[in-house]
Amino acid sequence: MATPQLEFDSDVEGRIYEYVERRGSAAREEVRDAVRVERTHGAKPPRSGTESAARLSVPECNEYIDGLLDDGLLTERDGTLYVRPDADAETHDATDFEYVVRPADEDDRRAVAGLIREVAGEGAIVVDERVADAIEREGALVRLNDRESRMFFVAEIEDDGERGEDDAERGEAEIIGWVHVHGFELPARDHTAELTVGVAPSTASRGRGTLLERGMAWAAEADCIKVYQSLPATNEEALELLEEHDWEREATRADHYRVDGELVDEVQLATRLDGGR
């Protein structure tokens, strides 16, 4: 899956973006302290050892950050900077509740990891235990850089407040589902992405199809050709969902999982986003 072709107005903007992206979030003063520039001393041409790394002034730092905000590469909420994926929030209706599907950000890390483990604990999506491990261990939930694309969308029920276009206002909300799309760096596999999706048991699987479609749409926009997922053969409901969305079974690995003490086959499924087979 193609990674974003990032363009910056200056090297300093690029380093500010990299700092925020690598950590998932950062305050302006934290960025100012971390991203240093070389200052030369005196009017004479600098000699070796006469340059030193210095902090940007507050106006300089704010100017660079404001440029990234204006270009849509970063967003800011409550004084904290986040990477801004090129995707909007969408509202959907279930039978008895309304939910929002939106790009995840660093504030969602704990809730997403907890929900993944809750769903995986039921033996529904074994592979996502690895995903939960990764997002708890690594520096950012979402990765959008020149080498890697990892995107999460979450579904949430909002109790109070509204989410504005710039995500500046949030009420209390409960995350009830996620879809995870992870592209690969190797040139031989950069046309593929792994997708996993799940919803809280309390939703009775409502919203899972919407999340699946959102993840596939994002992968298609990133020029992905093939998306795949692996599931335990016992997860009949998820297998049926994928096949309803034109996924096909490609292979089966016998006795690949142990679920509730029993050996279970793994079913490997995939779908093509370019209309090919």
For 128-178, how does the pLDDT look when each residue is reduced to its tens digit (9 = 90+)? 677 888 788 877 888 888 788 889 999 999 764 444 444 434 457 899 999
Q: Give the residue among 160, 244, 184, 233 at the shortest CA–CA distance from 210.
A: 244
Q: Between the CA of residue 229 and those of 20, 67, 125, 206, what are the distances in Å?
A: 30, 38, 10, 20
Q: What is the DSSP string of 208-237?
A: HHHHHHHHHHHHHHTT--EEEEEEETT-HH
Give me the residues paired with residue 222 across strands. Answer: none
The correct answer on CATH 3.40.630.30 for the domain covering 90-272 is: yes
* Percentage of residues in the chain having pLDDT higher than 90: 52
pLDDT for position 122: 65
Domain ranges of the chain: 11-83, 90-272
With b for 16 or more beta-carbon neighbours within 10 A and e for fewer, the 226-247 pattern comes to bbebbbbbbbeebbebbeeeeb
For 192-247, how does the pLDDT look when each residue is reduced to its tens digit (9 = 90+)? 999 999 999 888 888 999 999 999 999 999 889 999 999 889 888 889 999 999 99
- Do 100 and 111 contact (CB within 8 A), yes or no? no
List, in order, residues 6 or more apart from 233 with CB less than 8 Å away.
Answer: 239, 252, 264, 265, 266, 267
| CA gap 166, 74 in Å, rounded | 10
Instruction: Measure CA of the first residue to CA of the last residue in the chain; give whole Å.
Output: 17
pTM of the model: 0.83
